[in-house]
Structure 1
């Protein structure tokens, strides 16, 4: 891991939604990570774990009412360091496109359906780089060609519905890199694509990071996708990071049972033929409050009574103290699980019994 000053340092990010008559929903609960220039950091987890809300908070795209955002997200910019969570909306509009960019999950709903692709790309060039007319169209065509869209000059006049899913996603990437942003966020950019196009899009993103030195935050539910792309991976569950590690240690020696469950849910080329996958049992809604213990306990095959004694701290995978490298949030990690440990009938029931 690099020891240079990170481009972005997110510290204890929290997002709480307030609904009238329904109380609070804590979507993100104290998430911390860093992004380095020229490197890819992954946020991994099931739908509902807080990945997309994290990205929307960083981009300033959450609604103004009914949402409380806490923590800090310090980014290094040419004019100094700023906290993305505290800048004005006007300042954020200037940063989006020039210094920050986001690639959304569904390109068809992200692109304007009644505006040609060329106009949507040149609008960014006009807004942030001051390019107009023929110069802007030439640059737009160069961007489409760079991301692998054939016959880019003709494509400038086409509408989103005239492009395939893969080309629409490439057009979004072209718009994202038009101003060579320092930070790029990709929110499930390959979910709706077939595996061949997925591989091409991931290769394109890796090439852009390498060539431009951009910091990329890759958000996905699929550990198979990040296996060949991310340098460091953060596994999220119920709004908290439960394991953080460089790619190699995470795949070679996962510590948190949730990480093990995600790995067991994806096919492996080295697995015996016909071996069934092992999905994580239950659903993401089967959890307890972090204040009462590990939120993953109701779905975990390794829980013990120790897991229900309050929020588990982050610790090093090979020691008792938190440190750089491989850390996790589990009092009974997979490598230490013992068959003779006492287990309650259900974590939720045990937690209620203790509080009662």
Structure 2
């Protein structure tokens, strides 16, 4: 799958980011989808920018979405739409009791709008990375709502919004499918004592809090149920493993946990279809990282975990959130005047090898995410 970075939060200094604009994807969606399809990427994660759409409470302007939705429909690109990728309108108070319903109303309108473009079941990621957002925006004040010591409160609020949005979307699109994209992490003890082991394990298990909220296992007052959790998306990067309070665990170190184990643990915990909803590396590590992750997915599938897809994220190079430096992470570079982009050939070659490998394993050449039925276990 091709992942188009669509973050739209306000940074700590108040500046609004808009990665769909700064990567050029908003202007060149048609050519970007065409390039992705040429490389065998027939599904994509893409996004709507809530702050551009809801111009006033309950008033929606879909002009920023229409070119992308039309391009996807013409190309036959299957899209999983992010509805809230860290950003929201300035007239929305994320801490208010009304926030979940405000978001649910927007999500319902978005689903209704998309039904005019295709008869296929729509796919959504209602709120991206609730755990990371709660930490970055609720504890570290790195971006909106720029708070400290309110992470747990923000996580509850985001889970409420995701639950409400899922229910609202199903009112207009009963066949809609949903992914929950959350970081997949491992935290090792920083010392040999029992206190360090207990604290590290508690931190590691916190990665499942959002999922447990959605199914009603945790904080049942939020309204979660087993029907809310559909497809479990894991976001996995080279820096997703660290020692408690210390540096990242180097790849290959004895404390580094094989990703196959993380995939299996998640599947066994929830018995839902799994996708790797984000993965990628920077610079010359791009191809080797894909090689590693794909190998771990194959091992997890062999062990019984139904891993249904892998998303190269981001598929485009992008300007960094903090300083606008060019982050060379993508299969494709920055856009040229005609919308064309340079291809990072080592990653393209590795992608071709892995596509052939998994096609041979499954016999499925559609390249689309077609997971188990919602009620499957």
Please state which band the TM-score falls in when normalised by the shorter chain.
0.3 to 0.5
Hey, which of these two has a bigger chunk of helix by percent?
A: 2
- Higher Cα Rg, which structure: 1
More strand by share: 1
TM-score between the two structures when normalised by the length of structure 2: 0.34
